[in-house]
Amino acid sequence: TTQKVTKIDKHQFKGDDDSKPTDDSGTEKTDINKMSSDELRTTDHKTTDQQLTFTKAEAKAQAKQKGEKGVGLGTPESRAGEAAVHYAMRELTSGGKSIDDVSKVLMGLAKDKDKVLNKKWAKAAVNTAKWINEVYGNDIKEVVWDTPEGRKLIGVEGHGTSSDMFIQTKDGKNIG
């Protein structure tokens, strides 16, 4: 049999553009180059939590917005799933929660028919977080999503990968 070769669009990671992201109202956000590490982290986490808890109506409204949204290129469901892993890792590494605690929160969100997070993505997020925690657990310094602020915080702008979130270990290694 012959293998099928898939051509990859060299611009497939265009969502990694760090230029002039806007907030939900379309207003240009603060220049990330002038933000402190704490401001970058807070903004990344706030953006992630917003996508995690988005309603279907909010996701529909966001899809109609013009310009860079700083939230990735996937579907609202996939972004909520990515955000769920991010949330889970933050709670496991610095929130003092157990995987069972995290699972209850995520499955609770997934049961809400108005939310975009569904059970399939919630279960996948819990399994992924469980694995990341087993492998890297106490060695995790930062957890960031693939937002302009998250990328800036750990120095992975223009990473050119399909990574949806990153962890940075205490020795400074970035893992996507």
Least confident window among 12-21, 40-49, 162-171? 12-21
Cα separation, 27 vs 18, whole angstroms: 15
Residue with more model confidence, 74 or 100: 100
pLDDT at 119: 96
Band (25; pLDDT cuts 50, 70, 90): very low
Token code pair at residue 25: 């109202």
Mean per-residue pLDDT, 62-70: 63
User: Rounded to an integer, what distance in angstroms lies between the CA atom of residue 148 and that of residue 43?
Assistant: 9
pLDDT score of 136 more than 60: yes
In one-letter notation, the amino acid at residue 128 is T
Is the CA virtual torsion 156, 86, 41, 61 positive or negative? positive
Q: Please tell me the pTM assigned to this model.
A: 0.77
Q: H/E element holding 169?
A: strand 165-169
Buried b (16+ CB within 10 A) or exposed e, 112-133: eeebbbbeebbbebbebbeebb
- Cα–Cα distance between 167 and 139 in angstroms, integer? 10
Q: What is the pLDDT of residues 92-131, one digit of tens each?
A: 998 889 999 999 999 999 999 999 999 999 999 999 999 9
Q: How much is the average pLDDT of 153-159?
A: 86
Measured distance CA(74)–CA(63) in Å, rounded:
11
Does the pLDDT of residue 10 top 90, yes or no? Answer: no
